[in-house]
Amino acid sequence: MTESNASSPELAEGDIVELTVGEVAHGGIFVARHSSGRVVFVSDALPGERVRAQVTEIKKRHARAETLQVLEASPERLEHVWAEADVSRDPAERPGGAEFGHTSVAFGRELKRRVLADALSRFGGVEPDFEVVGLGDDDATRGCGWRTRVTLHVDEAGRVGPFAARSHDVVRVGSLPLAYADIDELAQQIIAKGHRGPGRIDFVAPADSEVRMRARVKGTSTRKPELLTERVGEREFTVSEDGFWQVHRLAAATLYEAVREAIDPEHFDAEAQHYDLFGGVGLLAAAVAELAGADARVESVEAAAVATELALRNLSEWSGATAKTGRVDRYLQGVLEGGADALAASRAGTVVLDPPRSGARADVIEPLVVLGPQQIIYVACDPVALGRDTGLLRERGYELTRLRSYDLFPNTHHVEAVATFLRA
């Protein structure tokens, strides 16, 4: 381990350097430039700070480093919301999952806005005016207590805890501040006792009853996953315990309303064929169906068969609602090969596109734009993926007409956006 200075021609892993921190980058890291000219992505910092950091990785065009000490702090820096993740702790012992926990939730939203705006400008060629909206009382609680689903890991020695940031090493913690309080209480009991491993322990706090815990040791679960009931307003959704559901206690309701509001009424034909692609258990398909009315024709498409079965149950009040299991790109190709009447109904419809973090990509975008729906409501959980897909859609005749963004993951770098694209 060596101290690097202005005379150092290059960096090496393990070097300790002083850096002046610039803007935020995607992934909860910040951009700095070493005196050698190399760009360094540094974690646990804030724009404008001067820090001592240790180089952890050298790439061809950049390096990565972890903050060891803050020499000149930003006025936005606060005591970390998660004591074990504070910069005063050895980086190898800091748990991951709270990359912006050393600032206010409000400034965390501003950092996310900058990342999303940069991605849309750089990859999508658009510069919409928007802000990232907080949920409920997250500002008052400093973004604590919102996670209704938490996974802890168990190592060979039986130690239970989260992974350290940017590693798969289990670290022991005395609190889980982002977790729903009942999850934190139960998890601390398990952490104190330890558990047979290696494996993982999943905690869920559903709307219908008390917290569930389910361990998976060496690939074998202690029990079968249960079916849970989640609620969005007065509407109930059946969800598998190990299936996908939004993590923030207010996220599902927020996205349900966000999709309804994102649909342009002037381009919405209630009698058309609508689609919810990557539809999960039918949450957003229900939002579209509710707008279309009792005879809504909405089809949810999802690769997971269990989720498809639950989507059929959750959409059963609409006689024209269906759910199919399959890869979205292949499904769209099948639609394109259908008859003229089916294609006409789809072309008049609205598509909700809620892809995984990697985005929809050309494999899905290409057949989707050939299908040519009136509007595409894109629900994005990754800024760069949304930026790239925005570029693809604009090149193929769709324009971004509306964007809203929501802080569904306080104290982390993750951000959600709901974008409306209309056929030009």
Just list the catalytic residues: 381
Amino acid, single-letter form, for residue 200 = R
Q: What is the DSSP letter of 134?
A: P
Alpha-carbon distance 364 to 159, whole Å? 42
Burial of 226 (0-12, 13-18, 19+ CB in 10 A): middle
Alpha-carbon distance 100 to 96, whole Å? 11
**246 annotated among ligand-binding-site residues:** yes
Count the alpha carbons within 13 Å of 48 in the hemisphere toward its beta carbon.
Answer: 6
CA end-to-end span of the chain = 58
Residue 369: enclosing H or E segment and its boundaries?
A: helix 361-371
Neighbours of 50 (CB within 10 A): 16
Main-chain dihedrals φ then ψ at residue 239, nearest 5 degrees: -135, 140
Q: Convert 383-410 to b/e letters by CB count within 10 Å (16 or more is b).
A: bbbbbbbbbbbbebebebebbbbbbbbb
Dump the DSSP string for 135-189: -TTTTTTTS-S-BSEEEEEE-TT--EEPBBTTS--B---S--TTB-HHHHHHHHH
**69 annotated among ligand-binding-site residues:** no
Neighbours of 238 (CB within 10 A): 17
Alpha-carbon distance 151 to 226, whole Å? 17
**10 annotated among ligand-binding-site residues:** no
Alpha-carbon distance 56 to 297, whole Å? 53
**30 annotated among ligand-binding-site residues:** no
Alpha-carbon distance 108 to 119, whole Å? 17
Instruction: List C-alpha distances in Å: 358 to 30, 368, 388.
Output: 21, 17, 10
Main-chain dihedrals φ then ψ at residue 60, nearest 5 degrees: -60, -40
Known binding-site residues for S-adenosyl-L-methionine equal 246, 278, 302, 354
Binding residues: 246, 278, 302, 354
